[in-house]
Amino acid sequence: MLAGEAFEAGIEFVRVMFGELGDRADAEEVEIAFDGRTDGDEVLEAAWLGHGDTFRISLYFRHRLKQNVSQLRCSVQEVFMRTRLVVSGVLAALLVVAGLRSTAAPGRTQQNPVSSVTEKEKKVMVKKLTPVLFVKEIEPVLPFWIDGLGFTKTAEVPEGSKLGFVILEKDGVEVMYQTYASVDKDMPAIGGDVRKGPTFLYVQVDNLESVKAAVKRAEVYMPERKTFYGSTEIGVKDPAGHFITFAQFAAAPQN
């Protein structure tokens, strides 16, 4: 039944209690027992509540109200069932939301997949690490890397008649050099810091003997040695005075 029809039926039923009981010319006198017993007649029960034990009610009005009372009961039941469905749906949605919140709470072992992906994307991903060595002049170090170790100059920036910056690369490994004069123009705030001391590099290789032959003219600051952590090492200085340790690790035993 439509909501409008249910509303009209309810209005008619209320009129039994607080309004007129129909055309008195066509009314009959009804006497209700003191305890209100009416053998299930809802119209008479409502009239008794509103008008006392004895009242007059139109036969036609009484008949029409009986039909409305039946319609009203059906409407109320229908509205009640729909309300239960709506309430059940709302409670189910609240339980789902509460479950998601409890899953994301600290100390829980489970995690929201979307949240996990988001946190993973926020992590810092390092793609490359390249040292920058500061020197008075770049030209003297080039033979050490290019002629000796086989590096290639992939980028350079002139500074007057000389180089101010250079990138050297071999097999995906890079090293950069920059002059003090270039730093003074590019980043004057750190000009004094880059002059304070040498840089220390640790380079892992697969054949230390070939490296020793390549850098045989370099100054050795650490003679060849074997370490407790499984490497054979030698330390030399580049022409600018930076310390470079080359290390070869023993191959892992085959099972």
Residues 137 and 240 in one domain: yes
Determine, yes or no, domain membership for 109: no
Confidence (pLDDT) at 93? 73
Whole-Å CA distances, 1 to 7, 37, 84, 87:
10, 30, 17, 21
Question: Which whole-number Å values give the CA distances from 220 to 39, 197, 241, in the listed order?
Answer: 118, 18, 11
With both helix axes pointing from N to C terminus, report the angle between 3-18 and 59-104 in degrees, rounded to the nearest 10: 130
Q: Would residue 120 count as lying in a domain?
A: no
* Residue 137 shares a structural domain with residue 235: yes
User: Which residue, 104, 119, 141, sits at the end of a domain?
Assistant: 104
Range of the domain at 182: 132-249
Q: Which two tokens stand for residue 32?
A: 């209700």
Q: What pLDDT digit, counting tens, does each position of 44-91 carry?
A: 666 656 666 666 666 655 665 666 656 656 665 665 566 666 666 777
Q: What is the pLDDT of residues 180-195, one digit of tens each?
A: 999 999 999 999 999 9
First-to-final CA distance of the chain? 83
| Domain-located, residue 255 | no
- What dihedral angle (degrees, nearest 10) is formed by the CA atoms of 70, 75, 78, 80? -110
The CATH number of whichever domain residue 245 belongs to comes to: 3.10.180.10
| pLDDT mean over 21-34 | 58
- Residue 66: inside a domain, yes or no? yes
Q: How far apart are CA 225 and CA 222, in angstroms?
A: 8
167 plus 209 within the same structural domain: yes
Asked whether residue 199 carries a pLDDT value surpassing 90, the answer given is: yes
Query: Is residue 3 pLDDT above 60, yes or no?
Result: no
Name the nearest CA neighbour of 236 among 251, 252, 247: 247
- Residue 250: Cβ-neighbour burial (10 angstroms; 0-12, 13-18, 19+): exposed
* Same domain (yes/no): 84, 161: no
Residue 240 near residue 201, CB atoms below 8 Å: no
Q: What is the pLDDT of residue 69?
A: 58
Domain final residue, candidates 104, 119, 145: 104
Check residue 105 and give its pLDDT: 57
Longest pairwise C-alpha distance within the chain? 134
Amino acid in position 155: A
- Residue 112 forms part of a structural domain: no
Judgement on whether residues 178 and 218 belong to the same structural domain of the protein: yes
- Which residue among 86, 104, 122 closes a domain? 104
pLDDT tens column, 4-25: 655 666 666 555 555 555 555 5
Each residue's pLDDT tens digit, 116-170: 656 666 788 899 999 999 999 999 999 999 999 999 999 999 999 999 999 999 9
Q: What's the pLDDT score for residue 137?
A: 97
143 and 236, same domain (yes or no)? yes
More confident residue, 104 or 171: 171
Residue 249 has pLDDT above 80, yes or no: yes
Asked if residue 193 and residue 86 are part of one domain, the reply reads: no
- What's the confidence (pLDDT) of residue 16? 57
Q: Are 246 and 208 in contact (CB under 8 A)?
A: yes
What whole-number distance in Å separates Cα of residue 152 and Cα of residue 154?
6
- Please state whether beta strands 219-226 and 200-204 pair in parallel, antiparallel, or not at all (unpaired): unpaired
Q: What is the pLDDT of residue 162?
A: 95
Whose CA is closest to 165, among 180, 144, 152, 150? 180
Return the HEC string of 181-196.
Answer: HHHHHHCHHHCCHHHC
Query: Which residue's structure tokens are 């697969």?
Result: 206
CB 158 within 8 A of CB 114: no
For residue 125, give the 3-state DSSP assignment: coil
The answer to whether residues 186 and 241 belong to one domain is yes
Percentage of the residues of the chain whose pLDDT score is greater than 90: 47
Closest CA to 163 of 244, 146, 199: 146
Q: What is the number of structural domains in the chain?
A: 2
Give me the mean pLDDT over the 100-115 stretch: 59
Residue 16 lies in a domain: yes
pLDDT digits (tens, 9 = 90+) for 203-217: 999 999 999 999 999
> Does 156 share its domain with 233?
yes
Contact criterion met (CB below 8 Å) for 243 and 221: yes
pLDDT of residue 242: 97
43 and 139 share a domain?
no
